[in-house]
Amino acid sequence: MKKARTYDVVLYGATGFVGRQTVAYFAAHAGGLRWALAGRNYNKLAAVRANAGPGASDAGIVVADASDGQALAALAGDARVVLSTAGPFALHGSLLVAACVAQRTHYVDITGETPWVRELIDRHHEHAKADGTRIIPCCGFDSVPSDLGAWMLARHFQAQGEACVEVKACFSLRGGFNGGTLASALNMLDSGQSRALADPWLLNPAQVRPPTVPLDDDPVAPHRDAGFKAWVGPFFMGPVNTRVVRRSAALLGYGPDFHYQEYLRFGSGALAAATAVGVSAGMNASQAALRLAPVRALARRLAPAPGQGPSEASMNRGSFRCELVGHGAGGTVARAKVAAAGDPGNRATTVMVCEAAMALTRAADLPGGQKAGGVLTPASGLGTALAERLRAAGMTMAVQA
């Protein structure tokens, strides 16, 4: 970046549901960073800034529509880092990422739209890598806990001189959905990307596609897992998170025999078994139903609109816990835990993506040095820098050998 940038971080999509929370977070935690709110409507942006209190009083306002390439180029050229919460990203994010790549501006977002991320890799990875620009999607609950959890275990085994060959994760969570998240999921189905969604190696580099073993297949049925001593079943975010972790494994070299899978935890005992069977069957049925356009239309009518989401009280009551079990090539077993208070898809996501953006403003702390770049993952693009910031923000991230 040869010219001075007005802002360290620009928050794009600041008037949306998660966007408003990122503004509040920066107002409370940005310290000496120069930052701005961005979106398509000045008056709405000004109202969000005012509602965020005195900590946001010096924040700038940048007006740029997601379809206005010239305005987005000016936005990216005036920022060191862009943080985007403006989904569905396949509809509203492509020009913004292209502008960031062209202007050598680092970028993070909260997408879980893996087919779109695949497009970013194909279009921009080599250019961003050559320029040292970090484009890091999936920096919210999709997929920071999974990615950093598996990364911590892989590093643990490497430090012991042993390759990590398998990691399984098990989630327990309490929280709600916002309208933007549901809109993104429905848009992926509208676009006919079911084949891409089913590819376990969707985000891997083209030359790194290991032979698929049963552990790599997305779970469809519950089972009692000895490692977790609990009944587990398919996790609705698994088809997103597993692809991100596998890209990290390829980029960071966990090893050719590394495998990752994750589940939703139901507990132990007969009641947990029955719940696991019922929930898993319902999840499979709903996914099948949502492939039908009339069902998606009904879901849109019933779901919260974009910009809407859980109440403050509901988000405060939320939480998540991700337990991980890793196996080394020599038979060693290690465990890890990633957990936080607050609604995972909204409150915790806000912390994760904001801390990711702030980490990018400190280039000296980033893995690979200042010149590393590309379309990366939270683990490969941020690694220790993000993990340390999240611990400082109150998130549990620990390996238990």
Q: pTM surpassing 0.85?
A: yes
For residues 109 and 139, the answer to whether their CB atoms sit within 8 Å is: yes
The answer on pLDDT for 258 being more than 90 is: yes
For residue 209, what pLDDT is reported?
Answer: 83
For residue range 75-122, what is the model confidence (pLDDT) as tens digits?
A: 999 999 999 999 899 999 999 999 999 999 999 999 999 999 999 999
- Rounded to an integer, what distance in angstroms lies between the CA atom of residue 365 and that of residue 359? 8
- Rounded to an integer, what distance in angstroms lies between the CA atom of residue 251 and that of residue 300? 37
The answer on pLDDT for 152 being more than 90 is: yes
Q: What stretch of H or E contains 318?
A: none
For residue range 165-224, what is the model confidence (pLDDT) as tens digits?
A: 999 999 999 877 665 666 666 666 666 666 788 899 999 998 888 877 888 999 999 999
For residue 311, what pLDDT is reported?
Answer: 82
Q: What are phi and psi of 49, to 5 degrees?
A: -60, -45
- Average pLDDT of the chain, as a whole number: 91
For residues 239 and 145, the answer to whether their CB atoms sit within 8 Å is: no
The correct answer on CATH 3.40.50.720 for the domain covering 7-139+346-382 is: yes
Strands 79-84 and 319-328: what pairing? unpaired
- Which of 37-46, 191-200, 251-260 reaches the highest mean pLDDT? 37-46
| Neighbouring residues of 166: CB distance < 8 A, sequence distance ≥ 6 | 215, 258, 259, 260, 326, 327
- Would you tell me how many other CB atoms lie within 10 Å of the CB of residue 2? 4
- Would you tell me how many other CB atoms lie within 10 Å of the CB of residue 203? 26
The answer on pLDDT for 35 being more than 80 is: yes
> What are the residue ranges of CATH 3.40.50.720 in the chain?
7-139+346-382
**CA separation (Å) from 288 to 199, 291, 295, 337?**
17, 6, 10, 32
For residues 252 and 379, the answer to whether their CB atoms sit within 8 Å is: yes
Q: What is the CA radius of gyration of the chain?
A: 20
- Rounded to an integer, what distance in angstroms lies between the CA atom of residue 267 and that of residue 265? 6
The answer on pLDDT for 371 being more than 90 is: no
The answer on pLDDT for 63 being more than 80 is: yes
- Would you tell me how many other CB atoms lie within 10 Å of the CB of residue 41? 12
Q: Please name the CATH architecture into which domain 144-343 falls.
A: 2-Layer Sandwich (3.30)
DSSP label at 399? E
For residues 117 and 111, the answer to whether their CB atoms sit within 8 Å is: yes
The mean pLDDT value for 374-394 works out to: 97
The answer on pLDDT for 330 being more than 50 is: yes
> What are the residue ranges of CATH 3.30.360 in the chain?
144-343
The mean pLDDT value for 5-25 works out to: 97
